Amino acid sequence: MSHYTGSILVIDDESDICELVQLTLESIGFQVLVGCGGKEGLQAIKDHSEHIKLILLDLAMPGVSGIDLIGILKTDFPQIPVIVMSGYVADKSEVVGLGAVDVLRKPFQLKDVEQKVIQILLPNS
């Protein structure tokens, strides 16, 4: 997958999840940025928006929530697709209604992360 250019941003207030997702995606050739929490994630979006091709976003975070971030992304960065990572979402249609393209229900398997990311970023592979 070394032919892929651009970065994936992982935003979650649980550093273990950020690290596992980052290592998983880097192991298959993606560049990964991490924002631990909504405030740090928002800053990463502002600093690197021209390079970010996909965001993996937790909804339930203290301070700036994932729902807050989706609203900002829809307005300011509509070209960046978002996959929501949440244990509180029952159905994909809930997050699509917010502006996300898909959902990873926590707890998820790391192979599911790989599959969703490839499906969104490399649909013809």
Domains for the chain: give ranges and CATH numbers.
7-116 (3.40.50.2300)
31-36 and 52-58 beta bridge pairing: unpaired
Model confidence, pTM: 0.93
The tens-digit pLDDT sequence of the chain (125 residues) is 445 678 999 999 999 999 999 999 999 999 999 999 999 999 999 999 999 999 999 999 999 999 999 999 999 999 999 999 998 887 788 788 889 999 999 999 999 999 999 999 988 86
Q: Of all residues in the chain, what percent are helix, strand and coil, respectively (each to 5)? A: 45, 20, 35
d(C-alpha 23, C-alpha 12), whole Å? 14
Q: Residue 96: how many CB atoms within 10 A of its CB?
A: 13
**CB atoms < 10 A from the CB of 32, how many?**
18
